[in-house]
Amino acid sequence: MINYLDSMVKNPKVFFDYDISKECSMGVGGRVSAFISADNFRELSEVYLLAAKNKTRFIIMGAGTNIVFNGGFLDMIVVKLGKGFSGIGIREAEIEAGAGLSLQKFVVEAARNGFDLSTLAGIPGTLGGAVCGNSGDICRSVVSIDCMTEKGGREAVELSREDFGYRHLNINGIKAILSIRFRAPKGDRDVLFNKVRDRIKQKKAAQPTQEKSAGCFFKNPYGHSAGELIQACGFKGFKYGEAGVSKKHANFIINLGRATAEDIYVLSRIIYDKVYSHYNIKLENEVRMIGF
């Protein structure tokens, strides 16, 4: 196993041979070599550099709401940003917040201080995950990020919208986003709270928010809605093993109870094949599939 982490075993935030399904909203996945919660930059870079030196795969995760790990054993270290990365600082024209902060807490705190980030309301996960996947087009408000580089150092990077694509951030050499600086239009607090509430209501009406999922499974192909294509192929309510296609929104694959990562994966391939054969369109995963 990964003996080089032995010196950190005293640390209660290091767990070996860890069941990663507990950390993912889909509730599936197997075991990973180690799962670590890092509370400060020193801990994070120490683990990263040890992993790099020993050629062990290192992955950073947020709240696990857009990620599915293979159901077998994965020799990798998964690091989650702990409480030390969830601070928030409000200035006159800008907000700076830790990448581990919940996106929903951030949206509410922003509204309380008169910043309109209501388009992000109702999206689960952390700020780091949202910036990494450009969730809800968060790129419209991001000014810069503080990050850990490939060499384990710390660097601030100014960002513009061009640095983001559809559900991704196009910057090479970044191993972890640590904090983010935002700018957003200002408005009246009560108006903003109403906008946030409306947005959450809309999401609840359109998405199976009470089910175990990882959000929209596939990206929308250019000029199409993935959900509409999947629905048109008759998949709403379709099941494979304990994985199913939501009856509410066809682009949501849900864990019906005891789904395995393989159930989710196979169902996604069945959908992919049928959409391809009917429409000649290759769906691309929006959910990050690790170890498949």
Ligand X SMILES: Cc1cc2nc3c(=O)[nH]c(=O)nc-3n(C[C@H](O)[C@H](O)[C@H](O)COP(=O)(O)OP(=O)(O)OC[C@H]3O[C@@H](n4cnc5c(N)ncnc54)[C@H](O)[C@@H]3O)c2cc1C
Q: Which residues bind ligand X (CB under 6 A)?
A: 25, 59-67, 81, 99, 123-126, 128-130, 132-133, 135-136, 176-177, 207, 209, 213-215, 288
Which C-beta is closer to ligand X: that of 87 or that of 234? 87
Identity of the amino acid at 223: G
Residue 285: CB minimum distance to ligand X, A: 11
* HSE, side-chain direction, 13 A CA sphere, residue 17: 2
Which C-beta is closer to ligand X: that of 61 or that of 192? 61
Which C-beta is closer to ligand X: that of 200 or that of 274? 200
CA distance 16 to 30: 13
Burial class of residue 223 in the structure, from the number of CB atoms within 10 Å of its CB (0-12 exposed, 13-18 middle, 19+ buried): exposed
Which C-beta is closer to ligand X: that of 136 or that of 152? 136
Residue 92: CB minimum distance to ligand X, A: 26
Which C-beta is closer to ligand X: that of 239 or that of 288? 288
Residue 176: CB minimum distance to ligand X, A: 4
Residue 215: CB minimum distance to ligand X, A: 3
Residue 132: CB minimum distance to ligand X, A: 4
Residue 65: CB minimum distance to ligand X, A: 3
Which C-beta is closer to ligand X: that of 60 or that of 142? 60
Residue 289: CB minimum distance to ligand X, A: 10
Which C-beta is closer to ligand X: that of 21 or that of 65? 65
Q: What is the DSSP string of the chain?
A: --GGGGGGTTSTTEEEEEEGGGGSTT----EEEEEEEE-SHHHHHHHHHHHHHTT-EEEEESSSSSEEE-SSEEEEEEEEE-GGG--EEE-SS-EEEETTSBHHHHHHHHHHTTB--GGGTT--SBHHHHHHTTGGGGGGTEEEEEEEETTS-EEEEE--GGGEETTEE--TTEEEEEEEEE---B--HHHHHHHHHHHHHHHHHHS-TTSEEEEESBPPPTTS-HHHHHHHTT-TT-EETTEEE-SS-TTEEEE-SS--HHHHHHHHHHHHHHHHHHH-----BSSEEE--
